């Protein structure tokens, strides 16, 4: 039998030289990219919010590197990040062997990054733009609903609050009248008859009224029953009324909110594990991408995408100082207000509208009930109905959109429908057929359609699914980030920005050939070495989809300075 030989156990073997973690980091590893990118960005805003004094602090650059790398590895919990900094060699290398605890990590993430992280995100995207990886001219926009950390049964519904408030107000008015009547009866001198109050009463009005009643009670012979009623008004009705008012104030224009995450609104989600259409506390996350890099994000409390577009585009301008030249989005964004906004700001619209795909079907084209199938004479301003009658204008009115945008609706009526053989199939109205037309919307739809069916439009429409939709898939399914961990829009913004940063870094690391870049990252090569490496990239990947050598060099060697939006 051959002699068994085991490899020697070096656990207790002291080393002659201290161990360098540099050797443990693979050349291709994205941790090197995180390190390089964070080293390049300007974090003076974060540094300026440190007060100083007391014990020394962990450097924000180290904490930022750790957090971005943790998000890149789908680790979102501060305790798990803390564990990784002690156990994972990549984190140990990245943090320079500093071991911040979960409180430090959490405090840095939720307090120090508040209001600053968006700027860091903008710097990284601008870096990608300046290295010509993205052009910042086109955006593919879509939205997804992301669940809040709040409990699913902490809802407050506007309808219920309004209903109970109204009931309470009526009850209060009745009690007040009873008290006043009783005071009148008890008072031998007689009191002045108070003016009848309206049904609605605010908490401040009730508070004043209670004071008034107490003053009156002080002047007359007090009945115990009346005093108890006034006390009940003060102790029970007033706080309840204040609570209802507080709920309505918190909700604003929303129809619901969560008691434990007041910024969250109850929305219908695609992920319905109970299969009962249950509404859950959530946020509407809007993302814009270009070449799968996230270029813009915004968080909204409205479940619908239509009303979020304008604000989302404005946030894009705030970040980069200009609007994109091209916007691609689905029919959820195809409203008059959005089309008008794009037209006014020089954004070429590739935004679909309802019926865009159905318009081409035979069923749609032969549907005589559709206004789109009626001929319109622009010069003389009339429509021709399916049988050939003129539909003349009979007036117009102004309609207001969800966001308060006003637009004119024109009305046209057919001359005589009574003896028409198509009556009943053409319309279900009692008299002659009346149609309502939003001319501006028709104009913008036509314009958008021309763009959408052009060669460029077809290409952009095809790319839309693999752009922003894929990014949502990456975040929600591959990263497993389906629910926020923090509460309130300011803190949620931090989470989204970190996810977006991690996504962009990950995307970049897969895009570039990292083996060639590790040399740049470590800064160990001499100038000749760099040149050789540069040439190696050129020879090895002359026509590959990977980044061009110039772009790589720019990313890693360019003295990067952020150009903040004016
Ligand atoms: S029902 Fe009236 S509107 Fe319709 S085709 Fe006949 S005349 Fe025209």
C-alpha span between 454 and 169 (Å, rounded):
60
Label residue 502 exposed, middle or buried (CB < 10 Å: 0-12, 13-18, 19+). buried
Using CA positions, which residue lies closest to atom 7 of ligand 1? 417
C-alpha span between 465 and 19 (Å, rounded):
48
Enter the pTM of the model: 0.81
Walking along the chain (566 residues) 10 residues at a time, the average pLDDT comes out as 86 82 85 92 91 88 95 94 94 92 94 92 93 90 92 90 91 85 66 58 85 80 78 87 92 90 90 78 94 94 91 94 94 91 93 85 87 88 89 91 84 88 84 90 90 91 87 91 91 94 91 54 43 45 51 55 42
Label residue 123 exposed, middle or buried (CB < 10 Å: 0-12, 13-18, 19+). buried
Which residues lie across from 279 on neighbouring strands?
268
Residue 11 has a pLDDT of 81
Question: Pocket of ligand 1, candidates 371, 386, 418: which has the most ligand atoms within 8 Å of its Cβ, to mutate?
Answer: 386
Q: How far is CA 454 from CA 344, 354, 372, in A?
A: 22, 18, 21
Centre of ligand 1 to C-alpha 339, Å, is 32
Residue 16 has a pLDDT of 83
Q: How far is C-alpha 555 from the geometric centre of its chain's CA atoms?
A: 29
Contact (Cβ atoms closer than 8 angstroms) between residue 492 and residue 115: no
C-alpha span between 496 and 117 (Å, rounded):
10
Residue 537 has a pLDDT of 45
Atom of ligand 1 nearest to the CA of 389: 8
Contact (Cβ atoms closer than 8 angstroms) between residue 508 and residue 133: yes
Strand, coil or helix: 117: helix
Strand residue runs (E) in 364-521: 375-377, 382-384, 390-400, 406-414, 434-437
Phi, psi of 375 (to 5 degrees): -80, 135
Atom of ligand 1 nearest to the CA of 423: 1
Atom of ligand 1 nearest to the CA of 433: 3
Residue 227 has a pLDDT of 82
Question: Pocket of ligand 1, candidates 366, 390, 423, 425: which has the most ligand atoms within 8 Å of its Cβ, to mutate?
Answer: 423
Residue 561 has a pLDDT of 46
Atom of ligand 1 nearest to the CA of 420: 6
What sign does the CA torsion over 483, 485, 489, 491 have?
Answer: negative
Question: Backbone dihedral region of 413: left (phi > 0), alpha (psi from -120 to 50 degrees) or beta?
Answer: beta
Centre of ligand 1 to C-alpha 445, Å, is 26
Question: Pocket of ligand 1, candidates 383, 390, 426, 434: which has the most ligand atoms within 8 Å of its Cβ, to mutate?
Answer: 426
Atom of ligand 1 nearest to the CA of 391: 3
Centre of ligand 1 to C-alpha 205, Å, is 58
Q: List the one residue out of 541, 545, 539 whose CA is nearest residue 507.
A: 545
Using CA positions, which residue lies closest to atom 4 of ligand 1? 426
Atom of ligand 1 nearest to the CA of 388: 8
Q: Provide residues with CB under 6 Å of ligand 1.
A: 385-387, 389, 414, 417, 420, 422-423, 426-427, 433
Question: Pocket of ligand 1, candidates 385, 392, 413, 428: which has the most ligand atoms within 8 Å of its Cβ, to mutate?
Answer: 385
Q: How far is CA 5 from CA 11, 17, 271, in A?
A: 18, 28, 56
Centre of ligand 1 to C-alpha 397, Å, is 23
């Amino acid at each position: 039998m051959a002699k068994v030989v085991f490899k020697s156990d070096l656990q207790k073997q002291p080393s002659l030289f201290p161990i360098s973690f540099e050797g443990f980091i693979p050349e291709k590893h994205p941790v090197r990219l995180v390190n390089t990118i964070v080293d390049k960005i300007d974090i003076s805003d974060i540094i300026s919010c440190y007060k100083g004094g007391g014990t020394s602090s962990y450097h924000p650059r180290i904490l930022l590197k750790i957090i971005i790398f943790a998000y890149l590895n789908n680790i979102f919990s501060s305790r798990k990040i803390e564990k990784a900094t002690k156990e994972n060699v990549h984190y140990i290398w990245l943090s320079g062997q500093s071991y911040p605890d979960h409180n430090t990590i959490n405090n840095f993430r939720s307090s120090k990054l508040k209001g600053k992280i968006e700027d860091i995100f903008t710097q990284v995207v601008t870096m990608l733009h300046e290295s010509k990886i993205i052009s910042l001219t086109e955006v593919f926009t879509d939205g997804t609903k992301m669940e809040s950390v709040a409990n699913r049964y902490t809802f407050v519904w506007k309808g219920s609050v309004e209903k109970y408030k109204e009931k309470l107000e009526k009850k209060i008015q009745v009690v007040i009248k009873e008290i006043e009547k009783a005071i009148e009866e008890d008072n031998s001198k007689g009191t002045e008859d108070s003016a009848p109050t309206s049904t609605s009463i605010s908490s401040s009005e009730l508070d004043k009224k209670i004071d008034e009643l107490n003053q009156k009670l002080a002047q007359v012979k007090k009945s115990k029953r009346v005093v108890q009623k006034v006390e009940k008004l003060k102790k029970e009705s007033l706080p309840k009324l204040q609570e209802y008012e507080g709920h309505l104030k918190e909700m604003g224009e929303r129809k619901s909110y969560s008691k434990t995450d007041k910024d969250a609104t109850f929305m219908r989600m695609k992920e319905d594990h109970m299969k009962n259409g249950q509404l859950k506390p959530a946020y509407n996350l809007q993302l814009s991408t270009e070449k799968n890099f996230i270029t813009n994000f915004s968080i909204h409390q409205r479940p619908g995408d239509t009303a979020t577009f304008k604000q989302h585009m404005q946030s894009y301008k705030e970040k980069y100082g200009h609007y994109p030249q091209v916007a691609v989005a689905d029919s959820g964004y195809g409203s008059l207000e959005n089309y008008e906004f794009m037209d006014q700001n020089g954004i070429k619209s590739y935004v679909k509208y309802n019926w865009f795909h159905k318009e081409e079907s035979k069923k749609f084209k032969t549907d005589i009930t559709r206004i789109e199938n009626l001929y319109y004479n622009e010069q003389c301003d009339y429509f021709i109905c399916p049988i050939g009658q003129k539909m003349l204008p009979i007036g117009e009115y102004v309609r207001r959109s969800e966001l308060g945008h006003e637009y004119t609706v024109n009305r046209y009526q057919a001359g005589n429908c009574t003896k028409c053989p198509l009556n009943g199939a053409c319309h279900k109205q009692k008299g002659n057929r009346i149609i309502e037309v939003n001319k501006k919307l028709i104009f913008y739809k036509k314009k958008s359609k021309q763009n959408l069916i052009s060669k460029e439009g077809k290409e952009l429409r095809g790319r839309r699914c693999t752009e922003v939709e894929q990014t949502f898939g990456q975040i929600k399914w591959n990263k497993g980030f389906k629910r926020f961990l923090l509460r309130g829009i300011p803190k949620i913004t931090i989470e989204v920005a970190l996810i977006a940063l991690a996504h962009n870094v990950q995307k970049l690391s897969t895009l570039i050939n990292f083996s060639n870049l590790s040399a740049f990252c470590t800064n160990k090569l001499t100038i000749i070495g760099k040149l050789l490496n540069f040439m190696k990239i050129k020879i090895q990947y002359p026509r590959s989809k990977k980044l061009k050598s110039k772009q790589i060099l720019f990313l890693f060697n360019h003295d990067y300075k952020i150009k903040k939006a004016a």
